Amino acid sequence: MILQTFTIARTTFIEAARQPVLLLMVLASGLLQIFNTWSTGFAMGQEETSEVVGDNKLLLDIGLATIFVFGALLAGFLATAVMSREIENKTVLTIISKPVSRPVLVVGKYLGVSVAILAAMVVMLTFLLFAIRHGVMSTASDEVDGPVLLFAVGGVGVSLLLAAWTNYFYGWNFSQTAMALLVPVCVVGYICLLFISKKWGFQPLYTDFKPQIMMACTCLVMAVMVLAAVAVAASTRLGQVMTIVICFGVFVLSLFSNNLIGKRVFSNTLIGAIAAVQPDDPEKSDFRSADSIYSIVLENAARKPMPPGTPFYYGPSPSGYPLIGLGTYTPYKGDLTSSGEMSSPGVGPAIIVTESQPPYRVFKVRNIGATPIDILRPPESGDYVFVQPTRVNHVAWAAWGAVPNLQYYWLLDAISQNRPVSFSYFATALLYALAQIGAFLSLGVILFQRRDVG
């Protein structure tokens, strides 16, 4: 079965790579990246706050969005070309009439399509990295980055000329040969570019290497792979036009799922955001002992009064999920000046405000109870504050999880705001993508299992 799957995937990849739309969209993406370097000069500031500064933030935004749209279109076009067209032309009968199961056919078709889309995404994202290295030309007097022109424009030109030459003399398919050349030429060209400065001098590789941008590009590839699974599943029952419509609909719905569904999942009242924190005793900075005290300063005055005794909840998200304190507790009505009373066996675990006064911007919080509340970490700058646990709407949560949420793969805001993306988040996004791909391929198998192709 594995051999059958990879044989179908190989044939599908060759067929997809020969589609002219693949090469046309890749070249169109490169052309748009050139235009982006000319048209995104809006003086957005030059402070060094992230891997991209000034107008390059807008360049990265527009560039990633362009590739995202092209990737969604490629998923619809290629999946239709290799799946629904075979069903319409009855050529799929020559495959399933052999001892090849329908699930193997669906999975093999997806693997072939996804590899072809991956090759196109690698080239398009490399074009974007070339554009980021070149930077925005805010004025006509800005100097052109010569090494970028050599490796980007020169590499594309050589690849197309070699593809035309082999097509003329050997009859090789032009689109397939051009894509086969563009992938290694662009990747090797970008790696070589990292060692060359704008003044044609040698520089260390890490000078222009942007690890956070690379992570954002990889997550964008994950999102397009999910759309490719949607396209393959839809093409088992629908024609070309409707498959593209379904892909575009899922693409749009996934971008709005947070606003349409996500905001109804968690319910809590935001009090404010933490600007600064300081443990009163550095030896108890883990905030896990029963007498740990932290001084909290909010960015602005609290939106609701927080008198002494008020419960204190905090977490990294303004939605209130997840909260760091793993528990539910009520206002404390005992003596806030007596450490012994707050740690007595009759006091339940809680985190409460012990000192505060209007306008409730600066206060102290304490972990109380004979058994301290279980927390994952102490409060940090940037956390959000609440005075009650977050309520969860499980029906909305199930609907939110069923709809692909491509916002998880969109890391532009984190990069432009200088919020480093951790490897754990990247690994979670990868698992989320694999789960979605598996779910949609399973749906495609179910839809195709009973389809009459005779």
Measured distance CA(178)–CA(87) in Å, rounded: 28
Buried/exposed 171-192: b ≥16 CB within 10 Å, e otherwise: ebbbbbbbbbbbbebbbebbee
The identity of residue 215, as a single letter, is M
Estimate the share of the chain in helix, then strand, then coil, as percent rounded to the nearest 5: 55, 10, 35
Instruction: Indicate the SS3 state at residue 317.
Output: coil
Burial degree of 265 (CB within 10 A; 0-12, 13-18, 19+): buried
Residue identified by tokens 């606003």 is 259
- Residue 181's pLDDT is 94
- Residue 91's pLDDT is 66
The answer to whether 349 and 327 have CB atoms below 8 angstroms apart is: yes
The structure tokens listed for 172 are: 């090789």
Look up the pTM and report it.
0.80
Burial degree of 362 (CB within 10 A; 0-12, 13-18, 19+): middle
- pLDDT values of the chain reduced to their tens digit, one per residue, 454 residues: 778 888 888 888 888 888 888 999 999 999 998 888 887 766 555 555 567 777 788 888 888 999 998 988 888 888 777 777 777 666 666 666 667 777 888 888 899 999 999 999 999 999 999 999 888 877 666 788 889 989 999 999 999 999 999 999 999 999 999 999 999 999 999 999 999 988 888 989 888 888 889 999 999 999 999 999 998 888 888 877 888 888 888 888 888 888 888 888 998 999 999 999 999 888 888 887 777 889 999 999 999 899 999 999 999 888 888 888 767 888 888 888 777 788 777 778 888 899 988 888 999 998 888 777 778 788 888 899 999 999 999 998 888 877 888 888 988 888 877 778 888 889 999 999 999 999 999 998 898 887 766 6
